[in-house]
Copies of this chain bind each other. A is one copy, B any other.
Amino acid sequence: MTDAELVTIPAGRGAAARLRAGQRVRVINTRGTQCVDTWAFVADDVSEFLSMEHSRSILEKIHFEPGDVLAPNRYAPLLEIVADTSPGGHDTLIAACTEEMYTRAGRPAGHANCADNLRAALAVLGVDARTTPAPWNLFMMAPVGAGGAIRFTRPTSAPGDYVELAALRDVIVAFSACPDDVYLTNGGDGTPTDAHFAVFDPARPS
Q: How far is the CB of A38 from chain B (nearest CB, A)?
A: 14
Q: Mark A134-176, 1 if CB is under 8 A from B, else 0.
A: 1000000000100111111000000000000000000000000
User: Would A95 and B150 be within 8 Å (CB), given that A73-B132, A131-B131, A132-B73 are in contact?
Assistant: no
B53–A93 touching, CB < 8 Å? yes
A61 on interface, CB distance cutoff 8 Å:
yes
If A53-B52, A56-B93, A131-B131 touch, whether A149 touches B61 (CB-CB below 8 Å) is yes
Q: A56-B93, A94-B56, A95-B54 in contact; A62/B144 too (CB < 8 A)?
A: yes
Give CA–CA (A62, B42) in the complex, Å.
29
* Cβ-defined contact, B131 with A134, below 8 A: no
A75 nearest in chain B by CB position = B100
Find chain B residues with CB under 8 A from A104 CB. 75
Q: How large is the interface on A (under 10, 10 to 19, 20 to 34, 35 or more residues)?
A: 20 to 34
Q: Give the number of copies in the complex.
A: 2
By a CB distance below 8 angstroms, the chain B residues around A98 are 74-75
A89-102: contact bitstring with B at CB < 8 Å (1 yes, 0 no)?
10001110010110
Q: Is B144 a contact partner of A53 (Cβ separation < 8 A)?
A: no
- A132 neighbours in B (Cβ, 8 Å): 73
Using Cβ atoms and an 8 Å threshold, which residues of chain B touch A53?
52, 93-95, 134
Does A85 make an interface contact (CB < 8 A)?
A: no
A117 at the interface (CB under 8 A from B): no
Residues in chain B near residue A144, CB distance under 8 A? 62, 144, 148
Chain A stretch 112-146: residues in CB contact (< 8 A) with chain B: 131-132, 134, 144
A-B contacts, 5 of them at CB < 8 A, read A53-B134, A61-B150, A62-B93, A144-B144, A144-B148
Chain A interface residues (CB < 8 Å from chain B): 51-54, 56-57, 60-63, 73-76, 89, 93-95, 98, 100-101, 104, 131-132, 134, 144, 147-152
